[in-house]
């Protein structure tokens, strides 16, 4: 059971949608869950209502489909994201250089690149009230960037910032925090 105020996004599959503004990129939404007008999420994304409301405001302003790929994360979900980043060769020391990030990253890099050992490290820090990602606090989301032009991704970031978020364009998504 998922505790309130979480929203678990489950099983519905829907057809493809088209960008109607700023180009004609085809955004494949098959297998995704439709959350609202022009707003979709990968199955299994866990999000708080304010995260989804923020994403809907962005979709409304942009007028094209947005896909939420990550919302609020458990320690296990954070470890899965970290494993994927390590698999892609991303530099965790650069991504997590604020606050306790360097100490957490040092422990993570000393551990095998496997979910369970990294989950245990992330959970141990979280139990002390230290969250290495804003996703774990429920005030960050990631949006898909695949299928969008660089100009469209830049516009997404500007709209997010105009709505009060901090936008970071990462290797395969747009990370938004401070929601």
Contact 66, 117 (CB under 8 A): no
* Strand bridging mode 140-144 / 46-48: unpaired
Give the angle subtended at the CA of 98 by the CAs of 148 and 162, to the nearest 5°: 40
**Tell me, what's the pLDDT at 26?**
63
Q: What is the pLDDT along the chain (179 residues), one digit of tens a residue?
A: 343 344 444 323 222 333 334 443 567 888 999 999 999 999 999 999 999 999 999 999 999 999 999 999 999 999 999 999 999 999 999 989 989 999 999 999 999 999 999 999 999 999 999 999 999 999 999 999 999 999 999 999 999 999 999 999 998 899 999 99
**Tell me, what's the pLDDT at 69?**
95
Give the angle subtended at the CA of 67 by the CAs of 13 and 157, to the nearest 5°: 175
Domain ranges (residues) in the chain: 18-72+136-177, 75-132
CB atoms near residue 147 (< 10 Å):
13
Distance CA 141, CA 42 (A): 12
Contact 74, 45 (CB under 8 A): no
Does the pTM surpass 0.85? The reply is: no
Sequence-ordered strand ranges (E) for the chain: 6-8, 17-18, 26-27, 33-36, 39-41, 46-48, 66-70, 140-144, 166-169, 173-177
* Strand bridging mode 6-8 / 46-48: antiparallel
Contact 179, 145 (CB under 8 A): no
How many angstroms from the chain centroid is the CA of residue 82?
Answer: 12
């Amino acid at each position: 059971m998922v505790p309130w105020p979480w929203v678990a996004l489950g099983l519905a599959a829907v057809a493809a949608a088209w960008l109607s503004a700023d180009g004609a990129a085809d955004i494949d939404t098959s297998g995704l869950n439709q959350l609202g007008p022009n707003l979709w999420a990968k199955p299994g994304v866990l999000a708080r209502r304010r995260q989804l409301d923020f994403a809907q405001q962005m979709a409304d302003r942009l007028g094209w489909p947005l896909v939420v790929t990550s919302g609020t994360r458990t320690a296990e979900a954070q470890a899965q994201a970290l494993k994927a980043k390590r698999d892609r060769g991303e530099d965790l020391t650069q991504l997590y250089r604020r606050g306790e990030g360097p100490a957490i990253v040092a422990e993570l890099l000393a551990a095998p690149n496997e979910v369970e050992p990294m989950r245990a490290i992330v959970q141990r820090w979280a139990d002390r009230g230290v969250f290495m990602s804003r996703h774990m606090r429920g005030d960050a989301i990631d949006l898909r960037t695949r299928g969008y032009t660089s100009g469209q991704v830049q516009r997404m970031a500007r709209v997010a910032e105009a709505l009060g978020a901090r936008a970071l364009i990462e290797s395969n998504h747009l990370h938004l925090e401070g929601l």
